[in-house]
Amino acid sequence: MNETSNERMRIRDGAGKFFKEILTLFFTFFKIGLVCFGGGYTMIALIERDVVEKRKWLTTSEMMDILAVAESTPGPISMNTATYVGTKRAGFLGALACTFGAALPSFLIIFALSFFIEEFQNLTYVGYAFRGIRVAVLVLILNAVLKMFRNVEKGVFSILVILFVLLISLLTDFYVIYTLLICAAAGILYNFVLRAVRYTRGYKKR
């Protein structure tokens, strides 16, 4: 009887910890979604601060890998990142909590504004406010880019890829998915050649 009671207590404690984890995931991304203006890219810096620096749920290297995957797959980068973090922490329910938490603030605000958006947009001071918000959003996106650049492994290959993508983006209308595929293929080829060179050098030393 005593063993049965202890087992029930362990199950109850485990369920309680799991439920607490789900709530923590939900409210973490709800808070990020609530204060994130400017779309998914501005959310990156906030996710990195809370997920990597504050809660230590991910390492910087893992965060960079997730961003690469999230950018290469369909859907908003912020939602993809939230889904991955939730899945890693608490499986399907964790993914649901993070994704729902990140999306809910935007849904509620847009739903509320939809009832009087036309009157809202025609207000003079609202137009002034939007001008200021646009500049702030640009700075937030730039901040996210700079943070990501600091965490990228520096080298000749990385610099060449950055320059290639920058030139392609600025000078052409090349479809983004093709750019990503080319960069992925270049990364595979570069590392294959690098490993082959290292193997050859190691073989010659023998």
pTM passes above 0.85? no
In the chain, which stretches have pLDDT less than 70? Answer: 1-13, 37-42, 118-122, 202-206
- Tell me which residue range forms the domain holding 90: 2-152
| Same domain as 118, residue 103 | yes
Q: Do 119 and 145 share a structural domain?
A: yes
Same domain, 69 and 10: yes
Same domain assignment for residues 88 and 106: yes
What is residue 11's predicted lDDT score, i.e. its pLDDT? 67
- Say yes or no: 30 and 82 in one domain: yes
Long-range contacts formed by 101-104: CB under 8 A, 24+ apart: 101/25, 101/26, 101/27, 101/28, 101/29, 101/30, 101/33, 102/29, 102/30, 102/32, 102/33, 102/43, 102/78, 103/33, 103/79, 104/30, 104/33
Query: Considering just the CA atoms, what is the radius of gyration of the chain in Å?
Result: 23
Whether residues 41 and 73 share a domain: the answer is yes
For position 93, what pLDDT does the model report? 92
Number of domains in the chain: 2
Structure confidence at residue 28 (pLDDT): 92
Task: Render pLDDT for 133-159 as a digit per residue (tens, 0 to 9).
Answer: 777 777 777 777 777 777 777 788 888
pLDDT for 175: 82
pLDDT value of position 39: 61
19/95 same-domain check: yes
User: Which residues, including other chains, have CB under 8 Å from residue 67's CB and lie 6 or more apart?
Assistant: 44, 77, 81, 148
Rounded CA separation 5/104 (Å): 40
pLDDT value of position 202: 66
